[in-house]
Chains A and B, each alone.
Chain A
Amino acid sequence: MSGVPAAPDGPAGRPAIVVLREAASRYGLIAVLAALPLYLAILDLTHDGDLSKLGNNIVAGLSNGAIYALIALGYTLVYGIIELINFAHGEVFMIGSFVAFGLWGTLGLGLATGPLGLVFGLLATLLITMVVCGVMNVMIEQVAYKPLRNAPKLAPLITAVGMSFILQNVGILWLGASPASVADLIHAQQDVVTVAGVTVHRADVLAIAVTIPLVLALTTFISRSRLGKAMRATAQDPDAARLMGINVNTTISLTFLLGGALAGAAGLINLLYQTSVWYFQGFEAGLIAFTAAVMGGIGNLKGAVLGGLIIGCIQQISDYRIGADWTPAVVFAYLILIMVFRPQGLIGEVTREAG
């Protein structure tokens, strides 16, 4: 440095352009995310004089976002540990809805079931669905990803896409190619409370009430238990973890089990919420949830939940303000913007290779 005349530097001693670029990277995404709701808020205030319309969208968005958060956790867990975009994960969620729907028939849950029976029936459905989806996700891993662990990195991504198509077609054979409507067991759209024109429905309460305990249980498991420690160790460095006596294969399977179980829970909530099932629901929800995981910072659990809630709001706002036909395009546009300008996400840090 000595003898070289210093370039015109910013206050921190770095060129202004670098400071500017860092600021754009850090706050740019937040600005882009906030632009749409802010614009609509101003529009609402000038037209209606209050924000109840936007408020309703955000309430529905948060509860929808809770479902996306559960799915996004599965993406983020798997990506964190083997750096694979588990493309078939959305389909596990879809199969979760199908399994739950089948279980209602088996358990005899219907509109005539009493409240007590409903609560126990749905709890049983939740548990069985979570187990079935968890086990299924492990089986997917064994069949489609494990044989390719030393293959080029994109090979398992391609088999994941193949797996996703297989599961979609299982869905078609199971319940047909068009959406089927199911019994509205919990009267999902019944109002619970209305504050300042913003209504909270039963479905919203349900989604939040199931998601919060599950997320808390998951984070506790990962941060406190021995197996959770093994997962974190494997995510950080699989080879070192193996040298320390951790069974890496079991740990990876456990990760898939947890991710699948959460997707199964999301499947049941979605069934109660939307009162319909469709073989294609997993494809769209999966991609939206993946966007959520990337938005939060893939590999980061808190990020996945935050991203899920944000993307849920974007999706609702877009559904009601721009048009449901355009929602996928809006979500994917956000996905591209994030990938290009802030691939590490909102609260993710630059991790092993996932810069």
Chain B
Amino acid sequence: MTAVRNRLGSHFNLVAAIAGLAIAAIIPMFLDPLSSITDNAITAGAYVVMALGLNIVVGFAGLLDLGYVAFFAFGAYTTAWFASLQFAPANHSKGIHILAGDFASKLPGLHFNFLIILVLAIVITGIAGMLIGLPTLRLRGDYIAIVTLAFGEIIYRFAVNGDAIHLGKGYPLTGGRQAIAPLDSIDLPGLPAFDDASNLRPFFWFVLVLVALVLFVNFRLRESRLGRAWIAMREDEVAAASMGIPLVKTKLLAYATGAAFGGISGAFLASYQSAVNADQFQFGVSIFILAMIIMGGLGSIWGVVFGAVVLSFINTYFIPNVFNSIPSHLGLNFDLTQVSFGIFGFLILIVMVLRPQGLFPERRRKIELTEGIGADESLAEERP
């Protein structure tokens, strides 16, 4: 691995990304169009996007965000608002359609093309990320964690109780615990409409495109002026500020960028699952995503991709299908699915205690952790 890396030099990441995505893109061709492996892989792809987004906030900029689920929620509700029957009375019950598919363009409610929804999701979650980031600007590391957690819970409460909040007669904010469904499927111009009842492959390829985009942005950002500013801020906020890095702008951009990826992923997952209900947005999801980036290695892009794919498959495949009956074989009376979050908690704990740098650590962080350089400041910044 190291030899290959040296040979390819700076192109390693590019080559690895293209090769990895190309191989992944071919795999579903050998599987049934409705294979459950493809289904799980689509979910995993969406989680990779989310984890890479959180990695920008936590891994690059060192701001521990325990409320990341809020952006998943904003993204998912963007799809729910702009691609469903939720706002049925709009335009005298005739609906508003912008580049919607053939089927959706005859329905009441708002029906926008999915690409427009993605842009809307980026804008909405980016703004939400900045607004949530604002109050944390002056705070220290652990206080940031709690404030973001509090915001995550408040957003969750709004999602749960949103069916009672009306933006006008017949315009409920959310569906509460009742799912908003069905949502329009993805319908790209020039391509046949995606249909999860007959073929899952287009969804998989679509999510691969999203992953490629996110990987590109992640690698480019890390080497950019902004990315170096994030890492400098993570290492030592005071030193970074005295070197002329504008802390407020740099932090807010980290929140907004990370949030936007959460929004993209949320919008896609909602459209793929064709339903959004408030119970998807519990605190556990934030920790699930956090577990992915901790397992892979905070700040390490390939590590995070690995962590997200592995944990997602553990969640959607291994726990319910493979290991679920183990406790009953041991004479215990429960299913493994009941304790899935306990398993993730255990993984976080074990990785953090035994290998705090993660499985595939970023070089710079490994040096910090093993040689103790900057260990005090690397994740927690002092208040000025």
Seen from chain A, the residues whose Cβ lies within 8 Å of a Cβ on chain B are: 83-85, 143-144, 147-148, 150-155, 157-159, 161-166, 168-170, 172-173, 177, 283, 287, 290, 294, 323, 325-326, 328-329, 332-333, 335-336, 339-340, 343, 353, 355
Contacts and interface: CB of A to CB of B under 8 A. Distances in A.
A143 B349 CA distance: 9
B139 A343 contact: yes
Given A326-B157, A332-B150, A154 B345 contact: no
A177 B287 CA distance: 19
Given A83-B142, A335-B150, 12 more contacts: A144-B349, A154-B145, A158-B64, A158-B294, A162-B287, A162-B348, A165-B287, A332-B151, A335-B146, A339-B143, A340-B135, A353-B140
Closest 3 interchain pairs by CB? Answer: A169-B342, A165-B345, A162-B348
Contacts of B372: 150
A336 B348 contact: no
B66 A161 contact: yes
Given A85-B145, A154-B141, A164 B345 contact: yes
A290 B153 CA distance: 14
B334 interface: yes
Interface residues of B, number: 52
Given A153-B141, A165-B287, A158 B339 contact: no
Contacts of B349: 143-144, 159, 162-163, 166
A325 B154 contact: no
A211 to B, nearest CB: 25
Given A170-B342, A328-B157, A159 B142 contact: no
Interface in B125-165: 135, 138-143, 145-147, 149-151, 153-154, 157-158, 160-161
Nearest to A172: B338
B153 A287 contact: yes
11 contacts: A85-B142, A144-B349, A148-B353, A150-B375, A154-B379, A155-B356, A157-B141, A161-B287, A287-B150, A353-B383, A355-B383
A158 B145 CA distance: 10
Given A85-B142, A326-B157, A152 B375 contact: yes
A31 to B, nearest CB: 18
A205 B383 CA distance: 43
A336 B352 contact: no
Contact of B376 (A153, A162, A170, A294): A153
Given A155-B379, A158-B290, A339-B146, A165 B138 contact: no
B195 interface: no
B341 A169 contact: yes
A15 B376 CA distance: 37
B382 interface: yes
Contact of A151 (B66, B135, B375): B375
Nearest to A294: B146
A162 B153 CA distance: 18
Contacts of A332: 150-151, 153-154
Q: Determine the main DSSP class of B at the interface with A.
A: helix
A162 B345 contact: yes
Contact of A148 (B294, B356, B380): B356
Interface in B336-381: 338-339, 341-349, 352-353, 356, 368-369, 372, 375-376, 378-380
Contacts of A355: 140, 383
* Most chain B CB inside 10 Å of its own CB: which residue of A168, A283, A287, A339: A339
A163 to B, nearest CB: 6
A329 B154 CA distance: 5
Given A150-B375, A328-B157, A336-B151, A159 B353 contact: yes
Given A144-B349, A172-B339, A340-B138, A325 B160 contact: yes
A159 B379 CA distance: 14
B139 A163 contact: no
Given A162-B346, A169-B339, A172-B339, A329 B158 contact: yes
A310 B189 CA distance: 58
Contacts of B369: 151-152
A152 B146 CA distance: 17
Contacts of B283: 283
A290 B146 contact: yes
Q: Which of A154, A162, A170, A323 has the most CB of B within 10 A?
A: A162
B284 interface: yes
B135 to A, nearest CB: 4
Contacts of A294: 146
A353 B141 CA distance: 12
A353 B346 CA distance: 31
A26 to B, nearest CB: 17
Nearest to A156: B352
Nearest to B151: A336
A159 B135 contact: no
B340 to A, nearest CB: 8
Interface in B154-211: 154, 157-158, 160-161
B153 A159 contact: no
B341 A168 contact: yes
A153 B142 contact: yes
Contacts of B339: 169, 172-173
Contacts of A154: 64, 141-142, 145, 379-380
Nearest to A340: B135
Given A152-B379, A172-B339, A353-B140, A339 B344 contact: no
A296 B41 CA distance: 48
A280 to B, nearest CB: 10
Nearest to A327: B157
A353 B380 CA distance: 12
Given A166-B345, A173-B339, A339-B135, A157 B356 contact: no
A323 B349 CA distance: 36
Contacts of A170: 342
A343 B140 CA distance: 10
Nearest to A323: B161
B154 A153 contact: no
A328 B135 contact: no
A153 B63 CA distance: 12
Interface in B288-321: 290-291, 294
A343 B143 contact: yes
B341 A165 contact: yes
A123 B233 CA distance: 53
Interface in B319-335: 334
Nearest to B347: A162
A353 B382 contact: yes
